[in-house]
Structure 1
Amino acid sequence: MLTENCEFDEIYEAYKNLVLKAAYTYSGNYDIAEDIAQNTFLQLYIYYDNMNHSNVKSWLYTTAKNYALNYKKKANREILHEGIAEESFILKTVESAESEFLKGINELDRSELHGRIFAALLEKNPRWYEAISLVYFLEIPQAKVAEEMGIRIEVLHSILHRAKKWIKKTFDVEYDELNQL
């Protein structure tokens, strides 16, 4: 047993992979993601008695995401020390400032579109949202997702098919326009 609090241990076992995946997705570094996951569960342990337990999953995901984004922001602002070897200062060839700027804008537009798709999907059908998030975003095996959702694998396939069909029908034009830039 991890702690004396059995409920906390169950939450940890149920969501440790979700938190690690979120931390890695937003930080891009597995070692940092492990630290972020540890800090996230430490915060949960500290504030566990004072929080609403019905939204623990979303709290964990949001906290891990925010820790990772804060880490990246801080890492981008750090000043390199003189002790770093000169090899680390090898410059990469950059196509042009304009193309780099346009790539950044395109990535931002793509991220905003994905956010709108997930928000619309959640509003349209929460089961579709849950299935798509677990299978494609968190990359949990479909059999485990079906078991977790309390449905047969065939029903999960049907849910995923309908959700993807709706996403394609609703956002196909926007997605195509974004990819043409």
Structure 2
Amino acid sequence: MYKNEKDRRLTESFVKYGTVILKHCCDYLKDKHEAEDVLQETFYKFGENYEKVPEEKTRTWLLVTASHQCLDLMKKSGRKRTVVGLPVPDVEDLIDPIDLSDRFVSRENMTEHLLVLEQLREVNPTWYQVIVFSTVYDLDNNTIGELLGQKPELFSKWKSRGRAWLRKRYKEQYPNG
């Protein structure tokens, strides 16, 4: 079916991780066409280096490479670095849709929670980014370190500080619940 090992790895990796990498790039760049270009360049580089990348590290390698490509593109275009956005879950998936008043309250609560997260992004983008990478993308500290170019030991501190800030802010803004 495949001509060689390179074709197999490229095809299987693209099928398995292409959508995740594209979403990741769209979150960074806020432009689908640029994200598609970065996706293509990322897989081109993977094709050149696939022998050096163990199969179990493919996802991480692709995410790190795509992140670097996004940052390079943003630097070249003079844009400031942005942090990865937190995807907004569909509220209907989070609540029991029996009562419309429950839907309204849940949607209002979701908006409040996302506002607090947005405040964290403004206060400390690094804490926000580490929390997003660890909770949304389910990445470990070593992988986050590769993505952000920092030592992994820092991330447990940043995660705990970010979470502490979020707890404090929730208590301040919502003292009754």
Give the TM-score normalised by structure 2: 0.50
Give 1 or 2: higher helix fraction.
Answer: 1
